[in-house]
Structure 1
Amino acid sequence: MNPEQIPQLLKQVSYADPRILPEDRQELQGLAALWAGVLVDVPAEFAMWAVGQHYAESPFPIKPSDIAGRWRAHVRDRMNRHTGTLEPTHYPELDPDDIAGFMHTLRTERHAVIMGQQPPTPLAAITGPAAVPDEVQARLDAVGRYMPDRVRDQLAAYRPARAERERIIHTGQPDPLAVPCPWCAAAVNQPCRGRRTTPGRDPETKRSGARAPHPSRLDAARSHPNAA
């Protein structure tokens, strides 16, 4: 805002709080100069809007810092939703080697986004499936995974229970280890165990190395509410 716009702003504030306007003319000029200094970067339209928002939410008198704070939050929100990467399709005439021209275009674009003259450019518009080649997307997917496929294949012999679990999931079947086994009583995420039944005694279970899930456990996984 410029100093000429401050009196109109103070008049609007006075509708909600008449005490904002001092009777002494010199004091009023000093007050206007103070507000103009604080709100130098705030557009007049936004300041007028911020006054209404303040009194809609707070019973306390408004200060110029309240308006400036709302403006900073507005700028931060719009810039957080803007990538600012200068898409070549939007600026075909821009020369990447022209640093001065690049910086000028970047500042102009950001100013337009801040002032509401241009919507923020979301990240999805740049990294969407249509914008990323298949080879690049495959590499991104591999990097983002906990363990690449080639490493998982090499470790399969040393982690047979996990390998069997992944094999079943990859075939499109529900994860059997996501439910307890009704046959051997293996807990969730634990592999099935061998079971021995002795006449006159309760069934005994013992671990006998990695083994495939019992059929009853596969059936239980298929009937689980979260089954795929």
Structure 2
Amino acid sequence: MTPDQIPQLLKQVSYADPRILPEDPQEVAGLAALWASVLADVPAQFAMQAVGIHYAKSPYPIKPSDISTRWQAVVRDRMQRDVDPAPPVDPDNESAYRHALAAHRRAVATGQQPPVEHKALTSGPAAEEVQRRLAALGDYLPTSVREALAPYRPAAARRIATIREGRPDALAVPCPVETCRAAAKQPCTRPGKGQARHRLAGPHPSRTDAAAGRAA
């Protein structure tokens, strides 16, 4: 919310709870400044609706934190359901890729577009395909042992999670990036000083696209 939207919100609150607005104009200004700071990331329409929801359930005065906490829960739920799909831009243009990815996340977080959810892989051919791909990793550890070792094998844990979610396993194919050319099952790298190479935290986007193309 913007500071000029706060007075209207406080006025709406006062309809349900006159205690919220002090009589001193300076105190009202201070109250508005506080609410504007707490609700800076909350859409005005959501805040208005949150007021009605609060007083439908509680006799106590509403606080700005009641609204911001409710909004944070909504954002968290949206982001947890979103699969962060690859942006429709050149995957090797890192700046454009990051910009498009950030724009998608903002749009989902603020409700401008719905989360892009993955389909659950629980039965039928899809579940069988997941098991086949996991078996191809050569990792036959019991689930309990694999989960216990996950903090010590982050790369393996990320790869298994990727497969379980039905997303392309980039490490199943060689990297097509000219400056990388990592072999299948090997992590992507970038050139360093001299002959040194630096391991990347994740695969190159074009390698993920190559894996998706092969799976298709």
TM-score (normalizing by structure 2): 0.57
Corresponding residue of 2:44: 44
RMSD across aligned positions (CA): 3.1
1:108 paired to 2:108: no
Corresponding residue of 1:138: 132
Corresponding residue of 1:176: none
CA deviation profile, 1:80-130 (whole Å, cap 9, x unmatched): 1011132xxxxx751111111111111111111122221111122899989
Structure 1 counterpart of 2:117, one-letter code: P
Contact 2:78 2:108 in 1 (8 A): yes
Corresponding residue of 2:187: none
Partner Cα separation in structure 2 for residue 119 and residue 146 of structure 1? 37
Task: Note the C-alpha offset of 1:140.
Answer: 2.7
Higher Rg of the two aligned structures:
1
Corresponding residue of 1:94: 89
TM-score (normalizing by structure 1): 0.54
Partner Cα separation in structure 2 for residue 125 and residue 20 of structure 1? 46
Aligned partner of residue 23 in structure 2, secondary structure: coil
Corresponding residue of 2:29: 29
Distance 1:103 1:32, change over 3 A: same
Distance 1:52 1:145, change over 3 A: farther
Partner Cα separation in structure 2 for residue 126 and residue 142 of structure 1? 18
Unaligned runs of 5+ in 1: 87-91, 149-228
Partner Cα separation in structure 2 for residue 124 and residue 95 of structure 1? 26
Partner Cα separation in structure 1 for residue 72 and residue 119 of structure 2? 25
User: What is the count of residue pairs matched by the alignment?
Assistant: 141
Contact 2:19 2:61 in 1 (8 A): no
Distance 1:135 1:40, change over 3 A: closer
Counterpart mapping for 1:46-125 below 5 A: 46-86=46-86, 93-124=88-119
Aligned partner of residue 52 in structure 2, secondary structure: helix
Partner Cα separation in structure 1 for residue 11 and residue 129 of structure 2? 62
Structure 2 counterpart of 1:75, one-letter code: V
CA deviation profile, 1:47-103 (whole Å, cap 9, x unmatched): 1011111111211110001001001101001101011132xxxxx751111111111
Task: Note the C-alpha offset of 1:139.
Answer: 2.4
Partner Cα separation in structure 1 for residue 122 and residue 92 of structure 2? 24
Distance 1:39 1:147, change over 3 A: closer
Task: Note the C-alpha offset of 1:137.
Answer: 5.9
Distance 1:137 1:10, change over 3 A: same
Relative contact order (C-alpha < 8 Å, sep 6+): which is higher?
A: 2
**Share of identical aligned residues, percent?**
63
Aligned partner of residue 132 in structure 2, secondary structure: helix
Aligned partner of residue 124 in structure 1, secondary structure: coil
